């Protein structure tokens, strides 16, 4: 096994582990939500994906109405990117045409429609549609709730 392949694999595994820990400890990791307390267009999507994985379809749709579209696309994009990164740079020109579909007008148009739909849902939620804005937890809220619980259990 080549050393660069091993290093890239270790880096991808480290990032996956960090993301898993963030999700497991329910840390707020959206910069907009955790600092300003304002939900971003994707707020609720991680929680919706987890709810969907647990079979809670209704709850997933309450957290983010586009979960059935965005979650699979995001997971596929992250997996594809991680695999491409671990494999390393390809020197063969034969691999270049396989990536041209990504730059096609059709994909660009579909991505634009998806972005507009996501922004539309985000804006509509501020007006009370789709269950209203998703509840967000700032870093200070999280630390108060979790660190206070930990310190009270240590005092006992």
> What pLDDT does residue 141 have?
82
pLDDT tens-place string over residues 106-126 = 989 999 999 999 999 999 998
Judge whether residue 152 has pLDDT over 90.
no
pLDDT tens-place string over residues 47-67 = 899 999 999 999 999 999 999
The residues, any chain, with a CB within 8 Å of residue 38's CB and separated by 6 or more, are: 32, 136
- Are 36 and 29 in contact by the 8 Å Cβ rule? The answer is no
User: How far apart are alpha carbons 139 and 28 in whole angstroms?
Assistant: 6
Task: Kindly report the length of the chain.
Answer: 156
Long-range contacts of 20-28 (CB under 8 A, 24+ apart): 23/50, 25/146, 26/142, 27/142, 28/136, 28/137, 28/138, 28/139, 28/141, 28/142
CB count within 10 Å of CB 39 equals: 20
pTM: 0.76
Q: Which of 66-80, 93-107, 129-143 shows the lowest per-residue confidence on average (mean pLDDT)?
A: 93-107
Give SS3 for 35.
helix
Give SS3 for 22.
helix
């Amino acid at each position: 096994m080549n050393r660069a392949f091993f290093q890239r694999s270790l880096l991808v595994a480290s990032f996956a582990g960090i993301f898993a820990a963030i999700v497991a400890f329910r840390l707020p990791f959206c910069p907009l939500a955790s600092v300003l307390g304002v939900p971003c267009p994707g707020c609720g999507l991680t929680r919706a994906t987890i709810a969907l994985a647990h079979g809670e379809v209704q709850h997933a749709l309450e957290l983010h109405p586009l979960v059935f579209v965005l979650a699979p696309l995001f997971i596929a994009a992250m997996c594809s990117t991680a695999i491409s990164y671990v494999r390393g740079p390809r020197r063969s020109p034969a691999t270049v045409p396989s990536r041209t579909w990504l730059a096609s007008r059709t994909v660009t148009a579909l991505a634009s429609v998806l972005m507009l739909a996501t922004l539309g849902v985000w804006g509509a939620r501020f007006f009370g549609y789709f269950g209203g804005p998703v509840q967000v937890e700032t870093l200070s809220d999280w630390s108060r709730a979790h660190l206070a619980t930990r310190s009270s259990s240590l005092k006992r």
